[in-house]
Structure formats: structure tokens, C-alpha cells
Amino acid sequence: MSFQAYIDNIKAKTGKSPEDFKKLAEEKGFLLDGQLLKTVKATEITNWLKAEYELGHGHAMAIYMTFKGKKD
């Protein structure tokens, strides 16, 4: 599955775009001014996305990668 397919599936399932998740992650304290804090581990992000949005590991990692700057 391509990266874009993961993002499209996440949007279809949750109604949220990567930008929406970035705003939510800022509220959670994972990002500051759109930048992932160096102290935040991938597991913290993926556990949050799995618990609150019922994303699978691959989909949660795709969102995490958008936080790291991946776009396509």
C-alpha cells in the first residue's frame, strides 16, 4: 500500500486529515509550533492513535511520519 493510500484510508475512517491530527497532537503536547518534540517517541504517538482513533499500527505510523515531515 502506498503512503498516500494510508492517508486516504485514515481520512475515510476518521474524517481527519494529517493537518487535523497535527492540531490534535499539539493539544496533547506531542508537537510544538508544528514540530515534533525530540522527547516524544513514536510509540507514544502510535499508542494514542490506536487507542483514540482505532488505527492499526501501519496507519498510526503513517500519521507519525507526517509529523516527521513526510508528505508523499
User: Which residue(s) pair with 31 in the sheet?
Assistant: 36
Residue 26 pairs in a beta bridge with none
| Global pTM value | 0.92
pLDDT tens digits for range 2-45:
999 999 999 999 999 999 999 999 999 999 998 999 999 999 99
Q: What 8-state DSSP symbol labels residue 30? A: S
Whether the CB-CB separation of 46 and 64 falls below 8 Å is answered with yes
What is the distance between the alpha carbons of residues 32 and 59, in angstroms, rounded to a whole number? 22
Answer whether residue 56 shows pLDDT above 70.
yes
